[in-house]
């Protein structure tokens, strides 16, 4: 879905926004979602919900109402097409100039914020593997250290 939205940006002659869509959302956010799912590791037994059919019917009603609203809007809107317009030039250079002149401070602050989030994610992910006096659980033995079995030695003749 993220890549198809980037394709729509290409059709709108927004090449930089399309590249940013692929780099940021497909690369970073998708990986962030996967890491969040992997780090949570919450297991819960399945419990059937009472009167589940009410939720299904209300969801279907809302989805059909939204579809009807969007279809009505598309069919009743006048879509003028001007074939004399020329597509604009690439906006990558203009955005780069603004990033490194007018918006340099927010750009750098965003990079520092992302770095802090990355370090925080690493600390949260490694917290369970670091065993020390302050994190040791009283009454439990630490898990055994994994070791590779030794290769059988041949007698020296």
Q: Select from 10, 26, 41 the last residue of a domain.
A: 41
- Containing domain of residue 103, as a range? 91-132
pLDDT at 72: 96
Does residue 17 sit within a domain? yes
pLDDT top residue among 99 and 145 = 99
Does residue 18 sit within a domain? yes
φ, ψ for residue 115, nearest 5 deg? -65, -40
Does residue 27 sit within a domain? yes
| Degrees, nearest 5: CA angle 109-112-113 | 85
Does residue 143 sit within a domain? no
Q: What is the pLDDT of residues 96-113, one digit of tens each?
A: 888 888 988 988 998 899
Q: Which candidate, 33, 3, 32, 1, places its Cα nearest to that of 18?
A: 3
Q: How far apart are CA 68 and CA 63, in angstroms?
A: 9
Segment 131-150 shows an average pLDDT of: 58
pTM of the model: 0.37
Segment 87-99 shows an average pLDDT of: 76
Does residue 20 sit within a domain? yes
Q: How far apart are CA 127 and CA 125, in angstroms?
A: 6
Does residue 34 sit within a domain? yes
Tally of residues, the chain: 157
Number of structural domains found in the chain: 2
Does residue 3 sit within a domain? yes
Does residue 70 sit within a domain? no
> How many Cα atoms are found within 13 Å in the side-chain-facing hemisphere of 33?
6
């Amino acid at each position: 879905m993220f890549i198809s939205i980037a394709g729509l940006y290409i059709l709108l002659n927004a090449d930089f926004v399309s590249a940013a869509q692929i780099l940021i959302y497909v690369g970073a956010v998708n990986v962030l979602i996967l890491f969040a799912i992997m780090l949570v590791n919450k297991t819960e037994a399945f419990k059937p919900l009472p009167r589940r059919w009410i939720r299904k019917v209300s969801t279907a009603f809302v989805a059909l109402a939204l579809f009807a609203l969007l279809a009505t809007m598309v069919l009743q809107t006048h879509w003028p097409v001007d074939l004399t317009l020329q597509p604009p030039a690439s906006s990558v250079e203009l955005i780069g100039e603004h990033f490194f002149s007018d918006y340099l401070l927010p750009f750098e602050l965003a990079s520092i914020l992302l770095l802090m989030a990355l370090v925080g994610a690493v600390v949260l992910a490694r917290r369970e593997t670091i065993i020390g006096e302050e994190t040791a659980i009283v009454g439990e033995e630490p898990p055994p250290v994994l070791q590779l079995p030794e290769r059988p030695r041949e007698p020296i003749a």
